[in-house]
Amino acid sequence: MKFGLSDKLIDSLKDIFKKYPQIKRVIIYGSRARGDFKPASDIDIAIFSEEDLSPELYFEVDEAVGIYKVDIVEVGRLHNDKLLENILKEGIEIYKQESS
């Protein structure tokens, strides 16, 4: 169990990300990546994408995580250098698009 989340949940998220070819990389950051999370902590997800993310993706992720609150950041739309630095420093990659 990584990040206090089941392997099944992480696999479900990966399956969702694979369906969207514009998604290049996904990182979990924040308390779940640092290991200082509580059972009710939210799931902070940074998505590196070549295009804006569709509302369907947000819906699918929300459905997959169930009881957990999820906070998705689209890195390409991020205007906070400190947050990006933090994501890259402490985040843990859970998905990377395979090269074709």
pLDDT tens-digit readout, 74-98: 999 989 999 999 999 999 999 999 8
Name the average pLDDT for the chain: 93
**Residue 14: which CATH number?**
3.30.460.10
In a domain, 1, yes or no: no
DSSP collapsed to 3 states, the chain = CECCECHHHHHHHHHHHHCCCCEEEEEEECHHHHCCCCCCCCEEEEEEECCCCCHHHHHHHHHHHCCCCEEEEEHHHCCCHHHHHHHHHHCEEEEECCCC
In a domain, 52, yes or no: yes
In a domain, 68, yes or no: yes
Domain that includes residue 56, residue range? 7-96
Q: What is the pLDDT of residue 2?
A: 78
Q: What is the pLDDT of residue 99?
A: 75
In a domain, 17, yes or no: yes
What is this structure's pTM? 0.92
| Residue 23 pLDDT > 70 | yes
Q: Domain total for the chain?
A: 1
In a domain, 81, yes or no: yes
In a domain, 19, yes or no: yes
In a domain, 38, yes or no: yes
In a domain, 2, yes or no: no
Q: What is the pLDDT of residue 100?
A: 61
